[in-house]
């Protein structure tokens, strides 16, 4: 038998491979243990362009941060009311508008109060509504007169023997309504009797009532009266009839309103814990017989800014602004008077009377940049600040509708006072002025301030 030997080319290929394996560090000797050592891997053996075998190393491995797999699509919720498929919240329905008046489906105020629901708007047509008492217990309602101010005449028909209207709802707003002739057996007949909740009165009028507005005594109540008119108290001396009487409620705001022609009682009386009297004309006038023009008998916090307050020659009490006359009731007691014009048309007067049942230092009194007109005392308080207060003759003031209001442009008192600063978080510099017959306008303070309510 003839043995076949590999060709010369095959021998060359075998020898080249052995050389490469030797270069790679392979050895044919067996280490202890009997198994050959694993060779170092140098790459893949390939034939180069020149026909020689070479080891081609693999590219280096570059480590990267692992990529999180994308989450699977969310499965449809099993329950139809799950949050993923909750239906959008529908818009709140528009309030219903109830129109009241002659020729309308609702002819009387009494019937409107029965039919009204929370959130409704009640529009009252112009005219006179006699003997139509109403009790309003709804929440978030607006009651407004349309066009010329409609007039509610009591005609001896009062709700619950209290008032022409009784309000016991949350967030009630009354606009452009007039109230006349409220009389009841206990002599506290009110145009509006406010018993519960929060009430805003805007551009309303109260004439010839035993009380214009009378409130209950509850610190949860809040009352705001804006751009309204109070006048012509009942002419009897058998009781005190106040144009507005605010009980021990939480907060009372009076702004841009006018008071005149009181009798025996006070023009403004408030027992509230916090009082903001801003840019009003509280001036009794020549025919008025009021006692105090402003009475704050139980103390509390009082901010009086930019008011004209004045008593007439027929006053029943020489004090114009009285504080604490019936004893302090609240834990915080302070009165801040800034840029008011206080007028005494009587033969004698006391511009500010501070009384306390807790000693002279129980009340903080700031009197800043006020203008006092006429005879009387304006005494420095026992505790507080007393700065920038000036006196003037009545004849030196410009009158508007019989009320002395502002200093003339050439007055030497202009530019004699400094900005009053703040009391707590309340700015004491005026930001508005009263506008006749009622209302306010925004005020840009001049570089030089004048004392009093008008710049």
Provide the pLDDT for residue 412.
95
71-75, 261-265, 306-310, 327-331: segment of lowest average pLDDT: 71-75
Provide the pLDDT for residue 85.
55
Alpha carbon separation from 402 to 91, 226, 312 (Å, rounded): 52, 22, 12
* Predicted confidence (pLDDT) per residue in 23-74, tens digit: 444 333 444 444 444 445 455 555 555 555 555 554 444 343 444 445 555 5
* Mean pLDDT along residues 199-224: 98
Provide the pLDDT for residue 21.
35
Provide the pLDDT for residue 71.
53
* Mean pLDDT along residues 131-152: 98
**pLDDT cut 70: percent of the chain above it:** 80
Provide the pLDDT for residue 95.
80
More confident position, 160 or 71: 160
Radius of gyration of the chain measured on its C-alpha atoms: 44
Local confidence band at 77 (pLDDT 50, 70, 90 cut-offs)? very low
C-alpha dihedral (338, 372, 207, 245), degrees to nearest 10: 50
Provide the pLDDT for residue 249.
98
Where exactly are the structural domains of the chain? 97-442
Provide the pLDDT for residue 64.
39
More confident position, 189 or 11: 189
DSSP letters, 145-200, are E-SSPPEEE-TT--BTTTEEEEE-SSSEEEES-EEE----TTS--EEEEE-SSEEE
Provide the pLDDT for residue 45.
52
Q: Class assignment of domain 97-442?
A: mainly beta
* Predicted confidence (pLDDT) per residue in 371-427, tens digit: 999 999 998 888 899 999 999 999 999 999 999 999 999 999 999 999 999 998 999
- Residue 86 pLDDT more than 80? no
* Cβ atoms 259, 268 nearer than 8 A: yes
- Residue 318 pLDDT more than 60? yes
* Mean pLDDT along residues 225-248: 94
**What value, to the nearest 5°, has the Cα angle with vertex 79 and ends 75 and 85?**
70
Local confidence band at 215 (pLDDT 50, 70, 90 cut-offs)? very high
CA dist 42 and 26 (Å) reads 11
**Residue partners of 440: CB distance under 8 A and separation at least 6:** 227, 255, 256, 278, 279, 432, 433, 434
73-87, 142-156, 333-347: segment of lowest average pLDDT: 73-87
More confident position, 44 or 448: 448
């Amino acid at each position: 038998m003839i043995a076949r030997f590999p060709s010369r080319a095959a021998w060359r290929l075998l020898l080249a491979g052995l050389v490469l394996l030797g270069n790679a560090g392979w050895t044919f000797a067996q280490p202890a243990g009997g198994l050959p050592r694993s060779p170092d891997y140098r790459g893949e053996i390939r034939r180069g362009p020149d026909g020689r075998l070479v080891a081609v190393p693999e590219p280096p491995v570059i480590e990267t941060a692992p990529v999180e797999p994308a989450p699977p699509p969310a499965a449809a919720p099993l329950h139809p009311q799950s949050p993923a498929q909750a239906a959008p919240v529908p818009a709140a329905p528009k309030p219903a508008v109830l129109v009241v008046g002659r020729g309308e489906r609702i002819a009387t105020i009494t019937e409107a109060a029965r039919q009204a629901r929370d959130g409704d708007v009640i529009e009252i047509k112009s005219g006179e509504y006699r003997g139509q008492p109403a009790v309003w217990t709804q929440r978030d309602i607006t009651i407004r007169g349309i066009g010329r101010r409609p007039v509610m005449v009591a005609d001896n028909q009062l709700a619950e023997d209290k008032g022409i209207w009784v309000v016991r709802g949350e967030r009630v707003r009354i606009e452009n309504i007039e109230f006349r002739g409220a009389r009841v057996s206990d002599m506290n007949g009110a145009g509006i009797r406010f018993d519960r909740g929060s009430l805003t009165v805007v551009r309303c009028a109260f004439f010839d009532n035993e009380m214009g507005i009378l409130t209950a005594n509850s610190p949860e109540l809040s009352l705001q009266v804006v751009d309204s008119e109070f006048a012509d108290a009942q002419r009897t001396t058998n009781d005190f009839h106040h144009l507005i009487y605010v009980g021990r409620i939480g907060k009372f705001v009076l702004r841009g309103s006018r008071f005149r022609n009181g009798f025996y009682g006070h023009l403004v009386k408030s027992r509230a814990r916090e009082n903001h009297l801003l840019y009003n004309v509280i001036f009794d006038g020549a025919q008025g017989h009021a006692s105090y023009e402003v009475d704050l008998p139980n103390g509390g916090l009082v901010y009086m800014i930019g008011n004209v307050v004045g008593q007439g020659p027929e006053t029943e009490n020489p004090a114009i602004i009285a504080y604490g006359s019936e004893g302090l009731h609240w834990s915080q007691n302070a009165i801040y008077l800034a840029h008011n014009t206080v007028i005494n048309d009587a033969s004698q007067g006391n511009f500010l009377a501070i009384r306390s049942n807790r000693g002279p230092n129980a009340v903080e009194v700031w009197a800043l940049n006020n203008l006092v007109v006429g005879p009387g005392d304006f005494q420095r308080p026992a505790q507080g600040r007393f700065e920038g207060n000036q006196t003037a003759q009545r004849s030196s003031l410009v009158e508007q509708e019989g009320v002395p209001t502002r200093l003339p442009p050439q007055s030497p008192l202009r530019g004699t006072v400094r900005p009053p600063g703040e009391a707590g978080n309340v700015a004491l510099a005026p930001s508005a002025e009263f506008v006749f017959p009622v209302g306010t306008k925004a005020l840009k303070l001049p570089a030089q301030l004048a004392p009093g309510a008008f710049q």
